[in-house]
Structure 1
Amino acid sequence: MGRRSVHSPEELRQLILDASQTIVERNGITGLSAREIARMIGYSPGTLYNIFENLDDVLLTLQVQLMARTLEHMKRVPLGPHSDQNIEALAHSYVDFALVNRRMWSLFLAHSLPPGTTVPALLHDYTNSIIDIVRGALEPIAPNSPREALDATARTLWAGLNGITAIAATEKGVYLTPATAQSFAKELTTIFLKGLRFEVAHQ
């Protein structure tokens, strides 16, 4: 793109993030470099380091943005009076979002944090907000469970769904592929909910 004479720091930050996302979606994480980002936005490679600490900072910011979009996607799932259907709808929506954005989703697998780097607080916040939605959908099934126990139950279910999306998004699975991921997610939620109801009934 043509370089304007002046970009504000916030404008430049978004230019870098947009270019980085485009590169990752086209070529994966291995295609990302300061030089390639700079080429796309019309600045020198050193400009990136005036805005971000390093490429890891850029990648973490992209992951935060992706999780924010995931949360907004989950909030839009219509929920009704039937808990099982609500959980299935949330799981279906989550897997669907991951597969539509599979290149970016693979960032969670491909990007390893350097030693001493902490996960951004916002990433935790968005993830916890998604778990809150899931826990709320599970509450009618186990209304007497303590919040901490139900929170752990919601996280366990979502960990399983993350495993499904992780394998499907990388397209490295033999049986678990983008084409079969939803059927695996439905089977997981069905078995999980049966187990939860059995546990509640025998408490």
Structure 2
Amino acid sequence: MGRRSDHSRAELEALILETGQNLMEEVGFAHFSAREVAKRIGYTVGTVMRVFGSVDALVVAINSRTFTMWARWLEECLQGAQDGQRIRALVKGYFDFASQRRNLWSAIYEHRVPDRVGIPEHLAEQRSQLMNIVTHEIASVLPNERKDEAERLSRSLVATVHGHCSFALGGSFALMGEADPFDLAMRRVAEILRANGANVD
């Protein structure tokens, strides 16, 4: 029988999120189950649904937690990086996170958030941490007259890196005979930044 009063609601929410993220990393989005999360924490699936409302809302919260983890990862990658190597550190950080936390990374893109669920403001703020880091670094290499374009340009560059990373992890680049997807992604990023007036290696 599931426990019903061992934790406060806040404690229970934190427990579900931690357990859910661990399960997501272990089995991936396709095999993720709120019932398995409930089983692992010793509560009923009904309790999990009462806390989060739906499986979709739970996955949104887990993926938002992953965004925070990813942002911290990038911050660590940037620590100690020389000015001329910070963009490279960002791109490398993207590839490394995706390859080392593959199921968590994939779940962000595999889950489609239903309109009825949406993303609550506090979770949207969690998710924005990653793009804030990227935008800050992109703005730092752009000339003054182009800095107001940093946010939009950053979204495009993330999409470019994501595409290269997806092809790399999915095996498409290997089938094409491409041996160094990271180098290819880095070259495209540098080309785009130079085209926008940035001075990058």
TM-score range, shorter chain: 0.7 to 0.9
How far did 1:110 drift? 1.5
- Give me the whole-angstrom Cα distance separating, in 2, the residues matched to 1:161 and 1:91: 7
How far did 1:108 drift? 1.9
Gaps of 5+ in 1: none
Q: What per-residue deviation string (whole Å, max 9, x for no partner) do you get for residues 38-64 of structure 1?
A: 221111221112211111111000111
Distance change in 2, residues 1:180/1:30 (3 Å)? same
TM-score, structure 1 length as denominator?
Answer: 0.79
How far did 1:93 drift? 1.3
Gaps of 5+ in 2: none
- Give me the whole-angstrom Cα distance separating, in 2, the residues matched to 1:164 and 1:55: 30
Letter in 2 for 1:175: F
TM-score, structure 2 length as denominator?
Answer: 0.80
- Give me the whole-angstrom Cα distance separating, in 1, the residues matched to 2:130 and 2:43: 37
Q: What per-residue deviation string (whole Å, max 9, x for no partner) do you get for residues 97-121 of structure 1?
A: 2221110111122211123332233
Q: In structure 2, what is the equivalent of residue 195 of structure 1?
A: 195
SS at match of 2:113: coil
Equivalent residues of 1:64, 1:122 under 8 A apart? no
Write out aligned runs for 1:48-59 (5 A): 48-59=48-59
Equivalent residues of 1:91, 1:161 under 8 A apart? yes
- Give me the whole-angstrom Cα distance separating, in 2, the residues matched to 1:5 and 1:152: 48
Distance change in 2, residues 1:106/1:89 (3 Å)? same
Distance change in 2, residues 1:30/1:142 (3 Å)? closer
CA RMSD of aligned residues (A): 2.8
SS at match of 2:196: helix
Q: In structure 1, what is the equivalent of residue 83 of structure 2?
A: 81
Q: In structure 2, what is the equivalent of residue 137 of structure 1?
A: 137
- Give me the whole-angstrom Cα distance separating, in 2, the residues matched to 1:137 and 1:50: 41
SS at match of 2:170: coil
Q: What per-residue deviation string (whole Å, max 9, x for no partner) do you get for residues 109-168 of structure 1?
A: 221112333223345434444333333333454322244312222221122122233444
Q: Which has the higher helix share?
A: 2
- Give me the whole-angstrom Cα distance separating, in 1, the residues matched to 2:112 and 2:130: 23
